[in-house]
Structure 1
Amino acid sequence: MTRISDLPQTLPVFPLPGALLLPRARLPLHIFEPRYLQMLDDCLKTESRLIGMIQPQPARNAGDADIPPVHRIGCAGRITQFSETEDGRYMITLTGISRFRTTGEIDGFHPYRKFRVDWTGFERDQGSAERDSDFDRDSLMRLLDRYFTARDLSADWETMREADDELLINSLAMLMDFSPEDKQALLEAPSLSTRRETLVTLIEYALRGGEGDIMQ
């Protein structure tokens, strides 16, 4: 278990729309932009090897196009797999460690964005896997069957039936094609139960043919 006292007070941050990382989950990333190649090189030199994943907010004015605002809450992931392609790109896997709250952006000469962060309030993220005592798996499976059928998608149903509560709910939250704002709502859910409730609401809304973000 990672302790808050062991976590850094600053983080390089990767604002990638729709890319959701959750504690104890794994997120594969393909790094090729020069600024993020530099971020990765710098990160690999640190003891923690942490990168913060965060959702950009919708641009409010023309100036936001260059430096878009970001949500205050993100999730830090440790680089746990790393490979380099022949043309200099990186394939990495981040393993979610803990959510964080940004407290201010750090100006500097680095081409990527860096923030001061606060880990307070997310102590549960650094513990063991959560359980969802009210989880009705059969009901979720029926809902997913309707969703996948409507979109002509396939699924490994046996694996989903056997997966632990947290692995199943978080994997669905990360993989399903929701908007960045809805992904942020899933990230900010205070417990696994509320994340599952949010996930079900999003799927039901999509099945009704809803448009736009229901979490606005």
Structure 2
Amino acid sequence: MTETPDFLSNEFPRRAPPLTELTLADIPPRVGLFPLSGALLLPGGHLPLMVFEPPYVALLEDALAGRRMIGVIQPLMDPDTDEHPLLYRTGTLGRITEFAENVDGTFTVTLLGISRFRLIRESQTDRGWREGVIDATPFAADLVEEDPLPINRDLLLNGLKTYLDSRDLQASWPLIEDMDDETLLVVLPMLVPFTPVEKQSLLEAMTLDERAGLLLDLLERGMD
């Protein structure tokens, strides 16, 4: 009989369960907030970040010492002109899946989108970063794998091509065409250069079907 390796034993519980086992019960009621204007992290998406400002370096260090989760949320005002901008009420909980400390003390990290959340209230910590009381219950479906969603790929990809051409932007079409429908609906909203308000509307779309319709509408409006 083969013994279970010590590193898999329940005697050494993890701070956060494996990604495939995450449930609403694993979502912390409080999370450090990373305000990022124009940044969109959707559940299932990957967001690379360079972290260099002291409060957010501290946030990252604290997150790495805990559940490795950070709340990505957009500010309502321009953070370059407002030191403490108000925040949108909906953000995304990201789990740190890759990180590297650079020689200058900055960090390069990748966040994996876990679930969206509602921001109930927030406060400033003595470490300089903002902490939010959150509720992920309205987005419980983010933690459940959805059935494949039929979308009009030709219409969507043609809309994307026209949108990019109108802005003299390039795309890796073989890579895009190999994506399944659900991946397209995660990757395209994150990568297409929509405005912060448009990205927020894509984040707040409750279902993939609603997101698909809004994405196509934004691409078509962007051609004007």
User: 1:165 is matched with which residue?
Assistant: 181
Q: 2:185, 2:54 → 1: CA distance?
A: 34
Instruction: Tell whether the 8 Å contact from 1:130 to 1:192 is kept in structure 2 after alignment.
Output: no
Pair 1:130–1:50, CA change in 2 (3 A):
farther
Aligned pair count reads 202
Among candidates 24, 48, 68, match of residue 49 of structure 1 = 68
User: 2:59 is matched with which residue?
Assistant: 39
Larger-Rg structure: 2
Instruction: Tell whether the 8 Å contact from 2:44 to 2:186 is kept in structure 1 after alignment.
Output: no
User: 2:17 is matched with which residue?
Assistant: none
Q: 2:120, 2:192 → 1: CA distance?
A: 29
Q: Which ranges of structure 2 fall in alignment gaps of 5 or more residues?
A: 1-20
User: 2:3 is matched with which residue?
Assistant: none
| Cα distance, 1:130 vs structure 2 | 5.4
- Secondary structure, aligned partner of 1:65: coil
TM-score norm. by structure 1 comes to 0.89
2:168 counterpart of 1:149: no
CA RMSD of aligned residues (A): 1.4
- Spell out, residue by residue over 1:17-75, the C-alpha distance to the aligned partner (whole angstroms, 9 max, x if none): 011001111100010111110100111000x210000011136xxxx822111011100
2:205 counterpart of 1:193: no
For 2:104, give the aligned amino acid. D
Q: 1:101, 1:205 → 2: CA distance?
A: 28
For 2:134, give the aligned amino acid. V
| Cα distance, 1:106 vs structure 2 | 2.7
User: 1:178 is matched with which residue?
Assistant: 194
2:28 counterpart of 1:12: no
Instruction: Tell whether the 8 Å contact from 1:130 to 1:166 is kept in structure 2 after alignment.
Output: no
Moved over 6 A (4+): none
- Spell out, residue by residue over 1:140-190, the C-alpha distance to the aligned partner (whole angstroms, 9 max, x if none): 121112112222222222222221112112111001111111111000001
For 2:68, give the aligned amino acid. R
Q: 2:147, 2:123 → 1: CA distance?
A: 33
Q: 1:116, 1:54 → 2: CA distance?
A: 13
Q: Which ranges of structure 1 fall in alignment gaps of 5 or more residues?
A: 209-216
- Secondary structure, aligned partner of 1:207: coil
| Cα distance, 1:107 vs structure 2 | 3.9
Pair 1:39–1:146, CA change in 2 (3 A):
same
TM-score norm. by structure 2 comes to 0.86
For 1:6, give the aligned amino acid. D
